[in-house]
Structure 1
């Protein structure tokens, strides 16, 4: 076989492997019970070699899930020895420090056998609607209050589901059918990946994945190191203020670019919080690596070799929280990590890094119920909403886009089907994008009301209310967020709060920062902003 033929053959098999994990992810999307998975794509899927190194990931999914999953498989292998792995097995955990950072994410890992030989692993993660405890919110004082904890254990052995685990789940969560259904969906998606992989290996005549894995890793490693070698060498630091829970929280990072690696150190970041906004280091690392990859190697496939060149260090603090810290809303601070890291990279690579954006998703968990004395419906409802992205060095920021998480917006029709609420308005928020040569992306205006005869409590998981997204290179700040009732009562950006019958919850989502001198924005772009009502008055 010539070198050219070998290269082509391996590239074709690599593409086939990516197709396998895409079908794995699509199975989860099509069978999931929770709208956060089915409609928003809050999931990940991937295939790993027998050493637990990620070979390929599905494009569908979030960096917080994909990059934590890449490390989580090694924790599973450490807990379950090879001698206790059998065909038909599936393993599960929601351990925040060995999975994806909080209890609401379920991670499942399944060994893939070809005959009696272990050829790899399939892994997937998804956010479930409820794990018991206080519910999805920042009010817990320890992880023990935040819900049921599932250590790394067998969900199924040799194809037989652990019925005791199912019974424990049903006794500890509010939405038992949804949660248990999602567990089976996760297991099914790994099974589909396994069957497709074995079919591919049989068709091509592959006895194992060793040769293909070496090809994937060697090509990826070489390409990543070439990108790092072309970067300026040195250290650059940045700080960022977030709203925190009841007082601002400072995040700090130093990016050190060396000859063949990039390290991000979070020394200087504020201590752990007594509220559930702490972040396990596995999740911090996931989003720090994602930020680096967006700038250094956005077109290089994401796998073990591309992530190997990025390292993370931190003392114990809010970005490296230790057990048993409350971590339920770890994504809010965690989603700020890319803006923090990108702010340092912007000093090393001027003119190449976008402005700050809304960053954290404006997730809202609603616990709806009938007013006392009236008949009605109880339900747990989860919505994912996005503010505006920061403007880019040559383009306006994207409106209402989930960067860095990448989840999709749930259709309001699907959300309203899950519980007794009405979403009266969900539209772009005028004047929320920061001014600049390139305008920041717009946030949203959202109005939610309980159905007649109902009320609801909601868990606010918002940021950029007290600290708006900053512009870059002369660009203006985006608009800060606002949380209020329709009578003008201001509410807190975090914590469980009440919306009585007949009132509407008003969410004004933050916009992204602008990029460049506003005086350099073209008259045509300004006229377009006015014509589309992105701004309500001409900007100078």
Structure 2
């Protein structure tokens, strides 16, 4: 049989992307954890027989899928090809061989055609609870952060390991939810496998070698063309962020060279005593993502398009934390990696990258339990994902309440309140939190949460930007800082588990993104529109854009009368 044409291979490539998107959507529809169903904190991908990622789903996060790009190789090495059989399903939550912390379950399924191993499907989902201290930064080492699942078989030849399920159920707070998520992960891989075999039947393929070669060769060629069109050079970037008890400094040295871009994190702060450390696989995932967004955004993600971006960091730094460092909140630091990379890249490619944004997700966990003497109350673990504002871009305002770089969606209030005895009293955009500039930073949010009557709770904060707000770029101003306090006015920490007395609520102001360009250059019509829509206040308009009190009052009255700006 003749070799398929380039057109046929391109059709197959597009088909693979649709297959893994169907795989991801199946996971969204069947997962038990709200973080997967509502926020899309997941990834899905297809790999060739050598473990090279060929395609990833559009749905999902870069931290998962780019980290998962390396994970299948670990599964091949640990399980061994000779021990792989049709009907097998493998799993792990190893932070260093998976996607960075124990709360991510990665499931890998080998694909066989005519009894020959021809590829793999893999997927990852963030689970609400994995035992231990619970999701938060308070652990002193990784052993305290929950149940460890080494790379192992969840099912062999179609038979699920019931002993493994008993161990899992006996070590977590939400056993039905977690076991349901694992089955959902395995099922979405099975769906991907069925669709792949249908495609191979349609195109009369016996293996994936030909289409793999086409995808990887063309992706690498296209990525190298983009890199080699850039002016070679080296620049350094730096960011200081809150950390847990002391500030963290991220340093990167970026070098654009022939056929590659080097990203070296020498000079970055060392491993932290608490669980905000980042395994190298997660640092690599977000550094590559940042560079790819800026340089080759339309080239599909796969092993070859990621390969020219080389990332190094000294072992023992907070971005290359070795075992057994605590890593539960690796996203808090890892989500700051792209903006640090952009601090360097802005010096090499002016007017290309955005200002700093909120960076890390504004997540928190409520651990609820019955109040003394309460009846009809229950225990529950409620995790909710929220976002601050993204940084303004060259030519565009930042996006409000939008997670960059993670891409995770903000969870609806209704979904949060269904997950446990929680009330969200307030959730709205935070006026004037976007940094002033020619282009305004995206807005953060106000959020107020509490427990239903008869419950008390501990609040695990996973926030940053309390002391170090998002910086503007090219003359733009900083976004609003994070503020967190109890309803009685008592200040709370940005990270860590904290008790909340009965009847009290937690009030949060999530950070805004930095502005881009000098505020005096902003179009006055845009300033008027921002004020009319409530994105800025009269005081903000006066302080940063020079608007008079009389003009501000007139605009607000016109807006109240229904005029469209």
Q: TM-score, normalised by structure 2?
A: 0.94
Which residue of structure 1 lines up, in the alignment, with residue 338 of structure 2? Answer: 338
Mapping 1:288-437, distance limit 5 Å: 288-316=287-315, 317-375=317-375, 376-437=377-438
Which residue of structure 2 lines up, in the alignment, with residue 475 of structure 1? Answer: 476
Which residue of structure 1 lines up, in the alignment, with residue 149 of structure 2? Answer: 150
The answer to whether the aligner puts 1:208 opposite 2:207 as a matched pair is: yes
Q: Distance in 1 between matches of 2:409 and 2:471?
A: 24
Which residue of structure 2 lines up, in the alignment, with residue 247 of structure 1? Answer: 246
Q: TM-score, normalised by structure 1?
A: 0.99
Task: Name the stretch that deviates more: 436-445 or 13-22.
Answer: 13-22
1:108-131 CA deviation, whole Å, 9 max, x = no partner? 111000111111000000001100
Q: Distance in 1 between matches of 2:468 and 2:302?
A: 34
The answer to whether the aligner puts 1:498 opposite 2:490 as a matched pair is: no
Which residue of structure 2 lines up, in the alignment, with residue 283 of structure 1? Answer: 282
Task: Quote the offset at 1:357 in angstroms.
Answer: 0.2
Which residue of structure 1 lines up, in the alignment, with residue 20 of structure 2? Answer: 21
Which residue of structure 1 lines up, in the alignment, with residue 233 of structure 2? Answer: 234
Flag as ranges the 4+ runs of structure 1 deviating above 3 A: none
Which residue of structure 2 lines up, in the alignment, with residue 519 of structure 1? Answer: 520
Q: Distance in 2 between matches of 1:170 and 1:86?
A: 26
In structure 2, the gaps of 5 or more residues are 547-565
Q: Distance in 2 between matches of 1:289 and 1:248?
A: 25
Which residue of structure 2 lines up, in the alignment, with residue 67 of structure 1? Answer: 66
Task: Quote the offset at 1:64 in angstroms.
Answer: 0.3
Task: Name the stretch that deviates more: 330-339 or 451-460.
Answer: 451-460
1:126-176 CA deviation, whole Å, 9 max, x = no partner? 001100000000000000011000110000000000111100000000000
Task: Quote the offset at 1:465 in angstroms.
Answer: 0.6
Which secondary structure state, in structure 2, belongs to the residue aligned with residue 172 of structure 1?
coil
Which secondary structure state, in structure 2, belongs to the residue aligned with residue 345 of structure 1?
helix
Task: Name the stretch that deviates more: 501-510 or 62-71.
Answer: 501-510
Q: Distance in 1 between matches of 2:483 and 2:500?
A: 16
1:271-319 CA deviation, whole Å, 9 max, x = no partner? 1000000000000000000000010100100000000101111112100
Task: Quote the offset at 1:188 in angstroms.
Answer: 0.5
1:169-195 CA deviation, whole Å, 9 max, x = no partner? 000000000001001000101111111
Which secondary structure state, in structure 2, belongs to the residue aligned with residue 339 of structure 1?
helix
Which secondary structure state, in structure 2, belongs to the residue aligned with residue 119 of structure 1?
strand
Which secondary structure state, in structure 1, belongs to the residue aligned with residue 5 of structure 2?
helix
Which secondary structure state, in structure 2, belongs to the residue aligned with residue 148 of structure 1?
coil
Which residue of structure 2 lines up, in the alignment, with residue 120 of structure 1? Answer: 119
Which secondary structure state, in structure 2, belongs to the residue aligned with residue 341 of structure 1?
helix
Q: Distance in 2 between matches of 1:477 and 1:367?
A: 33
Q: Distance in 2 between matches of 1:438 and 1:229?
A: 30
Q: Distance in 2 between matches of 1:419 and 1:77?
A: 39
Task: Quote the offset at 1:31 in angstroms.
Answer: 0.4
Task: Name the stretch that deviates more: 94-103 or 198-207.
Answer: 198-207
Q: Distance in 1 between matches of 2:496 and 2:430?
A: 24
Aligned-residue CA RMSD (Å): 1.1
Which residue of structure 1 lines up, in the alignment, with residue 273 of structure 2? Answer: 274
Q: Distance in 2 between matches of 1:412 and 1:144?
A: 33
Q: Distance in 2 between matches of 1:408 and 1:351?
A: 27
Q: Distance in 2 between matches of 1:201 and 1:7?
A: 16
1:185-219 CA deviation, whole Å, 9 max, x = no partner? 00101111111100111112111111111111111
In structure 1, the gaps of 5 or more residues are none
Name the count of aligned residue pairs: 539
Task: Quote the offset at 1:7 in angstroms.
Answer: 2.2
Which secondary structure state, in structure 2, belongs to the residue aligned with residue 441 of structure 1?
coil
The answer to whether the aligner puts 1:197 opposite 2:213 as a matched pair is: no
Which residue of structure 2 lines up, in the alignment, with residue 33 of structure 1? Answer: 32
Which residue of structure 1 lines up, in the alignment, with residue 109 of structure 2? Answer: 110
Q: Distance in 2 between matches of 1:41 and 1:233?
A: 37
Task: Quote the offset at 1:2 in angstroms.
Answer: 11
Q: Distance in 2 between matches of 1:98 and 1:430?
A: 42
